Structure 1
Amino acid sequence: MCESKEKIFFKLIHGTGKEETSKEAKIRAKEKRNRLSLLVEKAELHEETHSSRSGPLAKETSVSPEEAVKWGESFDKLLSHRDGLDVFTRFLKTEFSEENIEFWIACEDFKKSKEPQQIILKAKAIYKKFIQNDAPKEVNLDFYTKEIISKSIIHPTLHIFDAAQSKVYQLMEQDSYTRFLKSDIYLDLIEGRPRRPTNLRRRSRSFTYNEFQDVKSDVAIWL
């Protein structure tokens, strides 16, 4: 009887030892999986961070200082270069006036329209986005120019926005472009310095286009 109890006791102890060993092995295996998971997550995070940092940097360094210097020769040369157009747009965003270059680009695209239906659809889209009162990206045009466009939008032609585009082009050339050439964004490029954070600020839009003569734009570049 005593021997039987001892065997039972030994089996219980032996069995418990196996159970504890098995439990400890599972815990260690789980901890190992967790460590591997963390290592994978860290590796993925590092890769994503590196990609997000190196992507824009690679794009910035694609513009040589020599090329950027040419943008200072004329506004036309700036707009005719894809990177120049991108950098100028980024500058306008710091002044919250990117609607001007977006309108100019939209007009360049519109003038390439061929089909009558395409002309109508694009003209109305540009009018709603940039011209009509309280448009989401309304450009600052004088009353007379806006009135002519409003009356012509029912039956638009490829020249419906010519006067407006010319005024916006001239404003950017005489106002925004001169400030762009003095901006950190441009000076950093021509001096080969890395890009720095830019401060956003709202420019006053109290001026009107009545200050400028109605000059037809000779720019016919669409990138």
Structure 2
Amino acid sequence: MQTVLFLFPQLNLSAPKEEPYRIIKQENQEGKRETKNRLKDKRNRLSLLLQKAESREIFIPFPNKPEKANTSLDEPVKWGESLDKLLAHKSGLALFRAFLQSEFSEENIEFWMACEDYKRHKSPAKLASKAMKIYSDFIETDAPKEVNIDFHTKEVTKKNILCPTLSCFDLAQRKVHVLMEKDSYPRFLKSQLYKDLIKQSQVENNGHRRRSQSFTSAGLLQTQAEFTVWL
């Protein structure tokens, strides 16, 4: 009986079996390099923000009421004492907002600012539409900038806006303030951005003041816009 031997030249049995592993390993290395480049780009952008924050005159794009604020050399140190001191200062608020934008988590500070602006309204006729706008933007389920508050707070706020008063968002605003105080504010204080700003203030306090630069609201908005393109 004869043995028939079939040959399949298209099958390369001598090809290295680890080839798929090499491809995956190469893809992983490329992914790591891309991540490293993104982190480097983020550090460069934070450095750019720091350079702009060195200015001592900043216009804050606060809703309906932009105001000029002068930053003393000691102010950044005070911002580390409490979240309230940070938010009370126009320059601190602007820097904190830009930091949150860099983390894609600016909805809390924007809601807080919207509530502060809402409480300035003195016309009862405008309260209803303004309250509904804030509720639809930040409170209701699947809102475009939905803040992370509990169901009870949402329900209380929903009932409050049926007969809107200047205090109808107070509960929700307090809850969001607590969230920022426990979460994003400590990260801000630990960020290289804030550390570098403190270091810069200390240098200037020691007599090495640098020539101040002009920093307008347009410049701040441009800086904040740069954070939104981080991908």
TM-score bracket, normalised by the shorter chain, equals: 0.5 to 0.7
1:168 pairs, out of 152, 167, 176, with 176
Q: Does structure 1 conserve the Cα–Cα contact (< 8 Å) formed by 2:160 and 2:168?
A: yes
Q: Which residue of the partner structure matches residue 157 of structure 1?
A: 165
Among candidates 121, 145, 152, match of residue 113 of structure 1? 121
Gaps of 5+ in 2: 1-47, 57-70, 202-222
**Larger helix fraction of residues:** 1
Report if the CA contact (8 A) 1:95-1:201 is conserved.
Answer: no
Structure 1 Cα separation of the partners of residues 191 and 228 of structure 2? 11
Dislocated runs of 4+, deviation >6 Å: 197-202
How large is the RMSD of aligned CA atoms in angstroms? 3.1
1:76 correspondence with 2:84: yes
Q: Deviations over 1:101-144 (max 9, x none)?
A: 11001111111111111111110110011011111111011001
TM-score, normalising length: structure 1? 0.59
Task: Decide which of 144, 147, 153 is 2:152's aligned counterpart.
Answer: 144
Cα 1:154–1:104 change in 2 (3 A) is same
| Structure-2 separation of matches of 1:55 and 1:93 | 12
The one-letter amino acid paired with 1:180 is: F
- Distance verdict in 2 for CA 1:55–1:178, change over 3 Å: closer
Kept after mapping to 2: 8 A contact 1:100/1:172: yes
Answer with 1 or 2: which has the greater Rg.
1
Distance 1:71 1:154 in 2: 37
- Map Cα deviations across residues 28-51 of structure 1 (whole Å, 9 max, x no partner): xxxxxxxxxxxxxxxxxxxxxxxx
How many correspondences in the alignment? Answer: 148
Q: Could you tell me the TM-score, scaled by structure 2's length? A: 0.57
* Shift in Å, 1:169: 0.6
**CA shift in 2, pair 1:200/1:181, >3 Å:** farther
The residue aligned with 1:9 is none
Deviation string, structure 1 residues 28-83 (Cα, Å, up to 9, x no partner):
xxxxxxxxxxxxxxxxxxxxxxxxxx999455332565321111111111111111
How much has 1:153 moved relative to structure 2? 2.2
Give per-residue Cα distances to partners, 1:75-96, cap 9 Å, x unaligned: 1111111110011001111221
Tell me which of 92, 97, 110 is aligned to 1:102. Answer: 110
**Cα distance in 2 between the residues matched to 1:138 and 1:78:** 23
Q: Match of 2:164, as an amino acid?
A: P
The Cα of 1:156 is off from its aligned counterpart by 1.4
